[in-house]
Amino acid sequence: MEPSFTRLQFRWLLDASESSFAFGPLDGDMERQPLNFPPEFGEGHFDHCNLALGMSIYRSTHRLLPQASGQLIPVAEIHVDYGGPAFVAQSLRGGRICQQERLPEATLIFEEGRDFFLYTQQRSTLPLVDGSTDSSMVALTTRLTALERLVGGPEAAALLEALNLSVLPSVMVRTIPRQVSDPLHQAMARSLTGPMQKLYAQGKVLEYLSGLAEHLRLVGTGDTSDSVLNERVAACRDHLLGLEGKLPTLVALAETFQLPAKRLNAAFSEAYGQTIFAFITTHRLDQARVALLESDVPMKALSHKLGYSHVNNFITAFQKRFGQSPGSLRNQAGKPLKPRIA
């Protein structure tokens, strides 16, 4: 058995002490450590779990106060010696992170829907969390030898090549649909403990790796036959339904699913009867209607979650679709409301 990742050291930036985490290869439950944010900024914690075959998964969660908005908050300096070539994937829910890498030298920003990937033997990095909103980052690290055993040598090489990580060391940020990275976030479930927790996490990691490889294969092929086109359009729909907040542009979606923007929009309209923008706008307004009837979520929070830059824009769009304002609907909660026919 290969040794676990040793020499994983965090030097907390906000006090003078240093902390080194010594994680056993397979024993023990998920371990949690606090992130020493200044109390006026908020709080956070760090969960870590070693898996079989030299794989490791961790999650950094950040709960921020309003006064942290607009600031980049340093979390920790991270230094790792992987003992050989390793593949790192990081995915975010909410917010954004500015990551300063030293091996190789690079500064990259990643956010929800745009994941971070690294291929290296050693790592020295400084992550800076955007204090404007809460966020949760999950990372998977696996030695190349473990990846080759899991998916096969040619497939592991193809995955790295598809991510432009063939040269050691390499780093990049790439648009990845939410449904592809969901298993990675689900792997850190704390409802389970001991061996069952590790077994569940291991299964989710394998699901993630197979989903990532399939997504990269799908968007990387030059085949635009009807079957491939339909797969990409369906994947685009699933991606949109899983997003919260500001919507990506049509150009960004076209980049993600490797289709010309006009062709993607036309194929989407043919499959679902609406353009991409009309489809997701209608879906989100329908979600808003349910939320207004069944919860007391503040109007401003709801409009932000649905991607509107200002609550007045949400009110206007809602009134155009349903014929009355969201405030009026909430006051009449429980009464049926039919959409206005265009």
Beta bridge partners of residue 31, listed in sequence order: 48
Beta bridge partners of residue 110, listed in sequence order: 97
Contacts of 199 (CB under 8 A, 6+ apart): none
pLDDT, tens only, 155-213: 999 999 989 898 999 999 988 888 889 999 999 877 777 788 888 998 999 999 998 98
Give, in order, the Cα–Cα distances in Å from 324 to each of 80, 297, 303, 328, 340.
57, 18, 16, 6, 10
The CA distance from 109 to 173, in Å, is 8
- At residue 90, the pLDDT reads 96
The CA distance from 127 to 12, in Å, is 12
State both tokens at 198. Answer: 């590790």
Please give the torsion angle defined by the CA atoms of residues 32, 37, 38 and 43, in that order, rounded to the nearest 10 degrees.
-70
Radius of gyration of the chain measured on its C-alpha atoms: 22
- At residue 333, the pLDDT reads 65
CB 46 within 8 A of CB 36: no
Assess whether the previous peptide bond of 169 is cis (omega < 30° from 0): yes
Reduced to 3 states (helix: H, G, I; strand: E, B; else coil), residue 339 is coil
Question: What is the pTM for the complete model shown?
Answer: 0.69
Query: Are 9-220 and 277-331 in the same CATH fold?
Result: no
Q: Which CATH architecture has domain 277-331?
A: Orthogonal Bundle (1.10)
Residue 245: name the closest of 325, 135, 156, 319 by CA: 135
The CA distance from 206 to 254, in Å, is 27
10 Å CB burial of residue 255 (0-12, 13-18, 19+) is middle
Place domain 9-220 in its CATH homologous superfamily. Answer: Jelly Rolls (2.60.120.10)
Please give the torsion angle defined by the CA atoms of residues 167, 170, 173 and 174, in that order, rounded to the nearest 10 degrees.
20
For the chain, what are the domain ranges?
A: 9-220, 226-273, 277-331
pLDDT, tens only, 49-105: 888 877 889 899 999 888 888 888 887 788 888 889 999 999 999 888 999 998 889
Reduced to 3 states (helix: H, G, I; strand: E, B; else coil), residue 252 is helix
